[in-house]
Structure 1
C-alpha cells in the first residue's frame, strides 16, 4: 500500500489533476501513470503547452487512466490522453496502455506512448490502432514489489519493439537485473532501472531520455525550437 501512496503522491505533485487511481489501485498500474506523468511534466518543463482530453476531444480536469490494454479509439470509458504542443510544431499526444500495430500487423501494448496527434486522430477516425513506425516514443514499465525482474520481460519488449519500430524506445523498471541490462544493452535498447520517485538520479536520467525523444521530433518538424 505504501508503494501506491508514494507513487500517487508523486503523480499529484507532477501533474496536479484529479486521478482515477486510488490507494487500492495496483502498484504496477500506478507506476505506468507515474511514467506518464514524467513524460508530461518533462514536456512542460521544456516549454510545451500541456492539457488533457478524452477520446471525444473534450478538455478534462479529472484524468481517467486505463488499467488494461485498450484501443486508442475505445469509448468504453472517457479515457484521458495528454496533448503536448511545442510552439508551432505539430501537436503530440501521450497515452497510457494503448495497442499499437506493428509491421507484421500484430497488435502490441505500449504502456506509455507518445505519437503525433495527427496519427492518433486518424486512428480514432478509422477505428484502427496507430502504426508503430509513426510513433515517437514507446515506454515499457515494469514494477515489482515481491518478485524479481526476469529476462522474459526484456525478451517480450525486444520482440514488440522490433515489430513496432518506434522512433525511440525505453524500458523502465523499479528494480534492476544484470541479465536484463546485458540483454537490452546488446540490442541497443533504452533502459533505466531503479526509477522511483525517491531516486533523483535515475529519474533525471529518464527525463533526459524523454527530452531526447522530443528533441529528435523537433529537429525534424520545428528545428528553430530549442529545448
Structure 2
C-alpha cells in the first residue's frame, strides 16, 4: 500500500513527493484511503494540492517536498508557529468555487460533551484549519463534512464498531437546539472556528445533518453479520475488503469523489 500512497501523492503534486509515514500497517491504510480519495478528486477535475503543517503549499519545483503523516497519538491542527515539520494535509477546490477544503489524517474533534473524538480521515473548511493554525493550534469543535473510519484488522467488523462511529458523530454534531445550552450565538454553526455560510449553519435534526455529510466506514476485511444494520438509518457508507489490488477500493474512492462533486461547493 505504501507504493499506492506514493503514486497518489506524486500524481497530486506533479513530481516525486517525499513520503514520511508513521509506523504501523493501520496508519498506512489510513493514508491509502486518504490519498486514494484525493487522487480521485483530482482525476475529476478539482484543483488538489499538498500542504505543510504551517499552511504553505508544496509546489512541484520545491526542493523539499516532504509529505508527513502524523506520528504518535491523535491530536489537533498544529500551530503555524511550530513550523512546517508537523502533519501535512491535502487541500482541494472545485473549479469556479471560492470554498477551499482540507483533508486531514488523525485529527481530534471536540464534541458537545467536551470529549475528544478522532476521525481517521476528515474534511473541514480551510477557514477552520487556518484559524487554528494562526492561533496556538487546536481541535475543531463540531463535525467534519466528511468523516472516514479506517480499520486494517484481520477480524470482521462488529456492530460495536458501527455503534462507536455513530456515537462519535452524535457527539460532534451541533444542532440549532444546542446553541442555548452550549453558549453559542444563534443561528449556530456546524463547526468552530467557522464562517457564516449556507452550509456552515447547523441543522434542525441529526438526520438532516447526516444527509449533508459523507460518513464512511472502510475496512480491509468484511463486516460480521448484522454489523451494517445501523448504517442505513444513520447514513453511514460501509465499504469492505478495501485492499491495494481490489476493485472495492476503486469503488470507494470514486463514490466519495462523486459525492464531493455533487454535494460540496
* TM-score of Structure 1 vs Structure 2, range by shorter chain: 0.7 to 0.9
Counterpart in the other structure of 1:109: 118
Unaligned runs of 5+ in 1: 1-6, 219-227
1:162 Cα deviation (Å)? 1.5
Counterpart in the other structure of 1:73: 78
State the Cα deviation string for residues 100-124 of structure 1 (Å, max 9, x = none). Answer: 1223332210100111101111222
Asked if the contact 2:240–2:248 (Cα under 8 Å) also holds between the matched residues in 1, the reply is no
Give 1:126-137 correspondences, 5 Å limit. Answer: 126=135, 127-133=137-143, 135-137=144-146
Report the TM-score, using the length of structure 2 for normalisation.
0.71
Counterpart in the other structure of 1:27: 25
1:29 Cα deviation (Å)? 0.5
Report the TM-score, using the length of structure 1 for normalisation.
0.82
Q: How many residues align?
A: 208
Give 1:1-227 correspondences, 5 Å limit. Answer: 7-16=1-10, 17-21=17-21, 25-60=23-58, 61-67=65-71, 68-73=73-78, 75=82, 77-89=85-97, 90-126=99-135, 127-133=137-143, 135-145=144-154, 147-165=155-173, 167-177=213-223, 178-218=225-265
Q: Secondary structure at the match of 1:73?
A: coil
Q: Over alpha carbons, which structure has the higher Rg?
A: 2
Runs of 4+ in 1 over 6 A off after TM superposition: none
State the Cα deviation string for residues 37-94 of structure 1 (Å, max 9, x = none). Answer: 0121021011111221222123332110014311112548421011112123211111
Q: Which has the higher helix share?
A: 1
- RMSD of aligned residue pairs (Cα, Å): 2.1
